């Protein structure tokens, strides 16, 4: 975005030139440094008057020069000289950034004399009209927005971030850049914009506008921005915009509370706020508009305001806009697209009007009797986003798209001025299920056609409860349609192989959402492995979890002598599984068990075998297993791999071989047979440096032998550095502080913990001993909390649910057999964001250990340990984005996973990422028997860096459903004794991990990256609860 910077000044007729010799630079900390290179510093230069205490005047020469040396110009420092071209600007239009940490003071010597003066680089006043789309780097507004944004006080409470970028309303100019996250933490923060001051003359006006999205309302009424006459902080600004706890916008005139407040609560969408300061006889006036009509965009005269107020003393000018974060904590809003000007048109400009691109049915009946006139059917011209578009005289024709009979009546009508065509005499005469189709012609040619919801035509009265109205089923799949659901609510299609099973035990086959009229229609595939299945629909429900089959172990290659029996076996997980074996691509219709047993092997049994594993939620096919019948010497399928470990660690070498059974194995180290090492896997524990060297295996049978390649083991010295325990990653970007500065409280029971978590005050909550929840969720509803376990035995049984901001959870062991250990998502009190989970242990959590969904953002999970020692179903660890339709997570879910230990029993989601921008580094994966570790899904970007994967399946993979495929980049990882399986479940793609990730170029933060071979050493010693730095080592 191009912006004009500084004031527009008419040059003086004869500018005066002064050349000053720079002798030193005095920084804000008081240190001095010689200026030796040229620097360009555009801005305002002010030579301070004599009475200013910070200026040292050392000669009468300076006093003589000061009256002339008041001006503004371009500052350059070539060759150690400060050249100033003065332009005769009036002194009072210059703004001095008195308290800005970026203020720079120069001590300069006048070349023509011996006098010293001090000059200050000031914030400049931007010209009006002014527009800011916050197209800066991410960071604190006063840092990244300088020099436009200065003064005030710098903090993460006012942060420029992509997350806060808002979409402009239809008819408004397109939004660009980022936005500002406003998240009060208990310390007052301001960012100040100085503009050309508007003088106090009757009739002069100053307007400002911005977009706002309220994620979490404040706990009390707060001023969020204001127009005023000073760069100082004001509790009663000249024109203040306020936000109330019930999501209402207000305006105040020289007051600490609003004099007028909007009568309606704002919803969770994006809103346009406009306010005005008017100089007038008597008391000046301030006015407020919220979401003005599109027809007023770009108008020369504003519409009537929603409210006005007056009061207090009036200023001599208005020259500042300030964004303000309250000294009281709580709440979070996004602010974007700021405009300041002197007219309505300056701050509410008109963008391109919405263009008609398609038709929509804005009203349509869902039931009618045969031969009875339908309730009115309305077709509307709309934009691509569904916004109604005015367009008069467009011919619209309605016909039957699906259904057993024709439609009669006036089927072609013209749209009115609002773009609507209303059909009042349509009739369907044949019973059945219908869908109508609307098409435009004439001047509307090219508008997209529309399909209506389902219309049931029947002599029976319309159903009053959810009803299935359409059902088609064959071996390829089923189509299901129905009416009378809850509009916009979610429904589940349930399935069971036996209708006698209680409905509560049926599995979720698929999920969907009823449309705006409560109708639904869904198509779902059915695997040939399923001989019979029964279906039901329930709704509304929030459940989105389907559990398709997962193959834990595919059948293995085998070579068998003629006449010997053999079997192939698949191990899979999931409810209500069905199996169907294939040979050379052909179905073996009678082979429907997990084990395929063959009697005496014949030559015709040789071939490639696989098995389909299916349930109502999906199906997958195993990898192919080669069966050979005959006498074959050994051959090696997978060679042992080189390894690099730290002293004291564990090395695992594995070989995969095939040949006529039985096969014998003998491992060697530097040419010497290892006693007892006679299996296909060689495991070395507590390895010392002297075990470095070459390892290989000889595989033999009665027909011959084969020697594997040599695998090199390198053992490095034990690291001596302390582990990095500071907060890093996305939580660090957000400046998470938790309850710092608040009172310390002790929680020894659930009542205490629940009370403290819901308190509005910043708190450091110390958990002592074991606490068990007596409800589904322990909500953290108010911000600024640190929840930290004391010692080595702090435990919580339940789901800690975070629906607020600035939270730290540390040094606690979580158990929950029924749900998550920690859930970070959106609830009635807001959205979980700016969260650090550190040094916690999660054991046998029934859903996910930590799930981060529904728009949660800026989270770091570090030094945690995840275990499932007894649970073998749904041992799914970290889910980011709960479904493909979770659009509130687009542009959010910025999460860092670092130094974590995914231990035995972890099956998948370590993590699984939809939508998010996720950094996964220095984690240890030690969970053999898993499905996969890291998964990228639609819209995701995942950076997988310097992790250690030990004996796991699919260290990373891509899962394809719909929408843009997820991206993943893998750098510097160690994959020791790992298996890559593309067919353990449907939709999986094995990828090299070479995608370009725009969100990580450049990296958004600094961090300590350990060498991958060090990861097992550090993580196994320091991850989990009860470890340093929370207890002494």
Q: What is the pLDDT of residues 708-719, one digit of tens each?
A: 999 999 999 999
Bridge partners for 479 per DSSP: 472, 523
In whole angstroms, what is the distance from residue 924 CA to residue 913 CA?
18
Q: Are residues 524 and 621 in the same domain?
A: no
Q: Indicate the pLDDT class of residue 918, thresholds 50, 70 and 90.
A: very high
Output DSSP code: residue 1022.
Answer: H
> Which pLDDT does position 383 carry in this prediction?
79
Q: What is the predicted pLDDT for the residue at 1?
A: 30
Same domain as 589, residue 647? no
CA dihedral 694, 699, 705, 711 (to 10 degrees): -20
How many CB atoms neighbour CB 586 within 10 A?
9
At 286, list the tokens: 């301030």
Beta carbons within 8 Å of 185's beta carbon, 6+ residues apart: 155, 156, 157, 325, 329, 737, 783, 784, 806
* 449 and 531 both lie in a single domain: no
Q: In 3-state terms, what secondary structure has residue 294?
A: helix
Percentage of the residues of the chain whose pLDDT score is greater than 70: 85
pLDDT of residue 515: 82
Q: Which helix (H) or strand (E) holds 753?
A: helix 750-757
Nearest to 613 by CA among 931, 978, 879: 931
Phi, psi at residue 746, to the nearest 5°?
A: -110, 130
- Which pLDDT value is given to residue 540? 59
Q: Which of 333-342, 458-467, 727-736, 907-916 has the lowest mean pLDDT?
A: 458-467
- Which of 67-71, 532-536, 740-744, 966-970 shows the lowest per-residue confidence on average (mean pLDDT)? 67-71
For residue 321, give the nearest of 291, 302, 341 by alpha carbon: 341
Looking at 716, 738, 768, the residue that finishes a domain is 716
d(CA 21, CA 938) in angstroms, rounded, equals: 60
Chain Cα centroid distance, residue 243: 26
Among 31-40, 338-347, 382-391, 917-926, the least confident range: 31-40
- Same-domain check for residues 450 and 488: no
Q: Which residues of 706-716 are buried (b: 16+ CB within 10 A; e: fewer)?
A: bebebbebebb
What separation in angstroms does the CA of 24 have from each of 31, 33, 111, 266, 892?
10, 6, 14, 54, 46
Residue 28 has pLDDT above 70, yes or no: no
Same domain (yes/no): 745, 792: yes
Buried b (16+ CB within 10 A) or exposed e, 437-465: bbbbeeebeebeebebbbbbbeeeeebee
Same domain, 783 and 899: yes
Average pLDDT over residues 503-529: 79
Average pLDDT over residues 270-294: 95
Confidence class for position 671, pLDDT limits 50, 70, 90 = very high
Mean pLDDT score, 970-995: 91
Report whether 886 contacts 923 (CB < 8 A). Answer: no
**What distance in Å separates the CA atoms of residue 968 and residue 956, rounded to the nearest whole number?**
8
Residue 39 has pLDDT above 80, yes or no: no
Element (DSSP H or E) covering residue 191: strand 189-199
Chain mean pLDDT for the chain? 82
Least-confidence region, from 982-986, 997-1001, 1002-1006: 982-986
Domain-located, residue 873? yes
**Residue 972 within a domain:** no
Same domain, 88 and 57: yes
* pLDDT value for 986: 78
Residues 631 and 359: their CA atoms lie apart, in Å, by 70
CB atoms within 10 A of CB 515: 15
| Containing structural domain, residue 363 | 358-457
660-680: average pLDDT: 95
Output b/e per residue, 348-372; b: 16+ Cβ within 10 A. Answer: bbebeebebebbbbbbbbbbbbeee
- The answer on 117 and 144 residing in a single domain is no
Last residue of a domain, one of 716, 744, 759: 716
Contact 155, 735 (CB under 8 A): yes
Q: Are residues 767 and 860 in the same domain?
A: yes
Position 228 scores a pLDDT of: 94
CB-based contacts of 220: which residues, under 8 Å, 6+ apart? 245, 328, 330
Domain closes at, from 286, 314, 347: 347
What CATH number corresponds to the domain at position 201?
2.60.120.560
| pLDDT tens per residue across span 44-96 | 333 333 222 222 222 222 233 333 333 333 233 333 333 332 223 222 222 32
Q: Does residue 942 have a pLDDT over 80?
A: yes
Question: Is 887 part of any domain?
Answer: yes
Question: Are residue 831 and residue 906 in the same domain, yes or no?
Answer: yes
579 part of a folded domain: yes
Give the count of domains, the chain: 7
Residue 862 to residue 728: CA distance in whole angstroms: 8
736-764: average pLDDT: 94
Alpha helices in 545-697 (DSSP H): none
Instruction: Give the pLDDT score at 48.
Output: 31
278: tokens are 């008017």
CA count, 13 A, side-chain hemisphere, 240: 26
Strands 857-862 and 833-838, by their bridges, are parallel
CA distance 94 to 470: 74
Q: Quote the pLDDT of residue 802.
A: 96
CATH assignment at residue 706: 2.60.40.10
Closest by alpha carbon to 601, among 660, 664, 663, 554? 660
User: How many Å apart are CA 375 and CA 578, to the nearest integer?
Assistant: 47
What does the alpha-carbon distance between residue 133 and residue 207 come to, in Å, rounded to a whole number?
Answer: 17
Whether the bond into 540 is cis, omega within 30 of 0: yes
Strand-pairing partners, residue 608, are 626
Q: Provide the token pair at 823.
A: 């859930």
Instruction: Check residue 539 and give its pLDDT.
Output: 67
When pLDDT is averaged across residues 499-527 and rounded to a whole number, the result is 77
> Within 13 Å and on the Cβ side, how many CA atoms surround 323?
36
Please report, rounded to a whole number, the percentage of residues in the chain having pLDDT higher than 90.
54
Q: Is there a catalytic annotation at residue 76?
A: no
Question: What burial class does residue 114 get, using C-beta atoms within 10 Å of its C-beta: 0-12 exposed, 13-18 middle, 19+ buried?
Answer: exposed
Average pLDDT over residues 570-599: 90
Query: What's the pLDDT score for residue 31?
Result: 32
The mean-pLDDT minimum among 74-88, 117-131, 684-698, 843-857 falls in: 74-88
Interval 94-111 mean pLDDT: 28
Q: Which residues pair with 797 in a beta bridge?
A: 772, 815
What does the pLDDT average to over 273-291? 95
Higher pLDDT pick, 812 / 552: 812
286 plus 393 within the same structural domain: no
| Beta-carbon-side half-sphere exposure of residue 36 (alpha carbons within 13 Å) | 3
- Cα 147-153-157 angle, rounded to 5 deg: 100
Check if the beta carbon of residue 1031 is closer than 8 Å to that of residue 1025: no
Residue 909 maps to a domain: yes
* pLDDT top residue among 187 and 893: 893
Q: Please indicate, yes or no, whether the overall pTM of this predicted structure exceeds 0.85.
A: no
Strand partners, 492: 511, 538
The verdict on residue 426 lying in a domain is: yes
> Band of the pLDDT at 542, cuts 50, 70, 90?
low
Q: Give the separation between CA 810 and CA 840, rounded to whole angstroms.
A: 6
Whether the link from the prior residue into 179 is cis, omega within 30° of 0, is no
Are 28 and 101 in contact, with CB atoms under 8 Å apart? yes
The answer to whether position 328 is within a domain reads yes
* Rounded-to-integer distance, Cα 189 and Cα 380, Å: 47
989 in a structural domain: no
Dihedral angle of Cα 77, 82, 85, 86, to the nearest 10 degrees: 130
The model's confidence at residue 654, banded by pLDDT at 50, 70 and 90, is very high
Rg of the Cα atoms in the chain: 35
- The per-residue pLDDT for 532 is 75
Residues paired with residue 69 on neighbouring β-strands, in sequence order: none
Q: What is the pLDDT of residues 132-146, one digit of tens each?
A: 999 888 888 988 888
How far apart, in whole angstroms, are the C-alpha atoms of residue 932 and residue 517? 40
Q: Is the pLDDT of residue 742 over 80?
A: yes
pLDDT band at 430; cut points 50, 70, 90: very high
CA distances (Å), 511 to each of 529, 695, 954, in order? 22, 52, 27
Residues 220 and 287 in one domain: yes
- Of 490, 909, 935, 969, the catalytic one is 909
User: Which of 123, 120, 124, 112 shows the shortest CA–CA distance to 47?
Assistant: 120
Residue of higher predicted confidence among 100 and 179: 179
Among candidates 876, 932, 934, 927, which has minimal Cα distance to 902?
927
pLDDT, one tens digit per residue, over 827-856 is 777 889 999 999 999 999 988 899 999 999
pLDDT at 352 over 50: yes
């Amino acid at each position: 975005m191009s912006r004009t910077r500084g004031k527009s000044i008419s040059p003086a007729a004869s500018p005066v030139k002064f050349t000053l010799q720079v002798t030193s630079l005095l920084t804000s900390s008081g240190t001095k440094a010689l200026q030796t290179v040229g620097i360009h510093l555009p801005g305002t230069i002010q030579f301070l008057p004599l009475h200013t205490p910070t200026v040292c005047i050392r000669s009468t020469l300076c006093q003589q020069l000061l009256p002339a040396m008041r001006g503004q110009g371009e500052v350059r420092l070539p060759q150690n000289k400060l050249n100033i071209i003065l332009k005769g600007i009036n002194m009072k239009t210059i703004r001095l950034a008195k308290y800005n940490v970026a203020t720079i003071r120069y001590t300069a010597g006048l070349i023509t004399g011996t006098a010293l003066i001090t000059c200050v680089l000031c914030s400049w006043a931007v010209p009006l009209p002014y527009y800011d789309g916050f197209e800066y780097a991410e960071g604190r507004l006063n840092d990244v927005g300088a020099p436009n944004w200065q003064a005030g006080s710098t903090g993460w409470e006012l942060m420029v971030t992509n997350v806060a970028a808002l979409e402009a309303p239809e008819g408004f100019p397109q939004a660009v850049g980022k936005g500002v996250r406003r998240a009060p933490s208990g310390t007052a923060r301001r960012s100040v914009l100085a503009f050309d001051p508007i003088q106090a003359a009757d009739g002069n006006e100053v307007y400002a506008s911005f977009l706002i999205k309220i994620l979490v309302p404040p706990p009390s009424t707060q001023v969020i921005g204001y127009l005023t006459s000073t760069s100082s902080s004001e509790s009663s600004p000249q024109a203040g915009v306020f936000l109330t706890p019930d999501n209402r916008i207000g305006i105040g005139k020289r007051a600490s509370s609003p004099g007028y407040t909007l009568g309606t609560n704002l919803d969770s969408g994006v809103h346009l706020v406009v306010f005005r300061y008017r100089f007038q006889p008597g008391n000046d006036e301030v006015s407020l508009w919220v979401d003005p009509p599109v027809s007023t965009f770009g108008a020369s005269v504003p519409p009537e305001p929603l409210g006005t107020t007056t009061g207090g003393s009036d200023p001599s000018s208005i020259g500042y806009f300030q964004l303000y974060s309250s000294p009281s904590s709580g709440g979070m809003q996004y602010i974007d697209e700021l405009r300041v000007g002197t007219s309505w048109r300056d701050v509410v400009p008109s963008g391109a009007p919405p263009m008609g691109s398609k038709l929509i049915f804005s009203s349509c009946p869902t039931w009618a009797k045969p031969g009875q006139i339908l309730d009115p059917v309305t077709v509307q011209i709309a934009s691509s986003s569904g916004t109604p578009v005015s367009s008069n005289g467009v011919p619209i024709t309605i016909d039957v798209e699906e259904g057993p009979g024709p439609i009669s009546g006036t089927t072609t009508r013209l749209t009115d001025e609002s773009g609507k065509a209303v059909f009042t005499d349509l009739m369907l005469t044949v019973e059945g299920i219908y869908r109508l189709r609307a098409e435009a012609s004439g001047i509307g040619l090219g508008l997209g056609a529309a399909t209506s919801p389902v219309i049931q035509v029947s002599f029976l009265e319309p159903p009053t409860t959810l009803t299935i109205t359409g059902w088609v089923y064959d071996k390829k799949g089923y189509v299901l349609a129905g009416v009378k659901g809850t509009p916009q609510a979610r429904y589940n299609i349930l399935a069971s192989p036996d209708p006698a099973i209680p409905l509560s035990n049926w599995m979720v086959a698929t999920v969907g959402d009823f449309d705006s009229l409560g109708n639904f229609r869904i198509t779902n595939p059915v695997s040939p492995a399923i001989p019979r299945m029964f279906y039901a629909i329930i709704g509304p429900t929030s459940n989105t979890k389907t559990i398709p089959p997962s193959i834990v172990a595919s059948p293995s290659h085998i070579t068998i002598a003629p006449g010997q029996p053999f079997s192939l076996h698949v191990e899979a997980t999931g409810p209500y599984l069905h199996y169907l074996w294939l040979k050379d691509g052909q179905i073996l219709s009678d082979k429907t068990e997990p084990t395929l047993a063959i009697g005496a092997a014949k030559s015709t049994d040789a071939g490639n075998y696989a098995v389909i594993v299916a349930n109502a939620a999906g199906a997958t096919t195993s990898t192919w297993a080669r069966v050979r019948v005959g006498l074959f010497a050994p051959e090696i399928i997978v060679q042992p791999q080189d390894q690099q470990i730290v002293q004291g660690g564990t090395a695992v070498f594995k070989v995969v071989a095939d040949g006529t059974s039985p096969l014998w194995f003998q491992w060697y180290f530097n040419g010497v047979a290892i006693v007892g090492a006679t299996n296909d896997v060689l495991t070395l524990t507590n390895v010392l440096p002297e075990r470095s060297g070459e390892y290989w295996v000889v595989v033999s049978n009665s027909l011959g032998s084969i020697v594997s390649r040599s695998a090199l083991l390198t053992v490095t010295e034990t690291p001596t550095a302390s582990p990095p325990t500071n907060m890093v990653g996305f939580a660090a970007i957000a400046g998470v502080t938790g309850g710092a500065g608040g009172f310390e409280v002790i929680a020894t029971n659930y009542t205490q913990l629940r009370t403290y978590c819901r308190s509005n005050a910043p708190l450091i909550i110390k958990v002592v001993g074991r606490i068990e929840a007596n409800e589904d969720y322990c909500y953290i509803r108010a911000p600024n909390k640190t929840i930290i376990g004391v010692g080595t035995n702090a435990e919580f049984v339940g789901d800690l649910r975070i629906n607020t901001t600035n939270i730290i959870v540390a040094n606690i062991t979580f158990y929950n057999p029924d749900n998550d250990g920690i859930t970070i998502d959106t609830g009635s009190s807001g959205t979980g964001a700016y969260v650090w989970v550190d040094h916690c242990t999660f054991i046998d959590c029934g859903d996910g250990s930590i799930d981060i969904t529904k728009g949660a953002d800026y989270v770091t999970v570090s030094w945690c340990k995840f275990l499932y020692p007894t649970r073998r179903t749904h041992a799914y660890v970290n889910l980011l984005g709960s479904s493909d339709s979770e659009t509130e997570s687009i542009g959010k879910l910025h999460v860092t996973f670092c130094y974590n230990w995914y231990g035995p029993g972890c099956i998948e989601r370590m993590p699984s990422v939809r939508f998010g921008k996720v950094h996964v580094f220095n984690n240890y994966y030690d969970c053999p028997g898993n499905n996969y570790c890291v998964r990228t899904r639609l819209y995701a970007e995942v950076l997988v860096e310097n992790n250690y994967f030990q004996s796991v399946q699919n260290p990373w993979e891509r899962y394809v459903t719909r929408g843009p495929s997820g991206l993943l980049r893998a750098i510097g990882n160690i994959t020791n004794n790992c298996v890559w399986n593309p067919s353990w479940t449907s939709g999986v793609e094995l990828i090299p991990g070479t995608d370009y990730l725009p969100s990580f170029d450049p990296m958004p933060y600094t961090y300590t990256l350990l060498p991958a071979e060090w990861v097992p050493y550090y993580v196994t010693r320091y991850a989990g609860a009860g470890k340093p730095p929370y207890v002494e080592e």
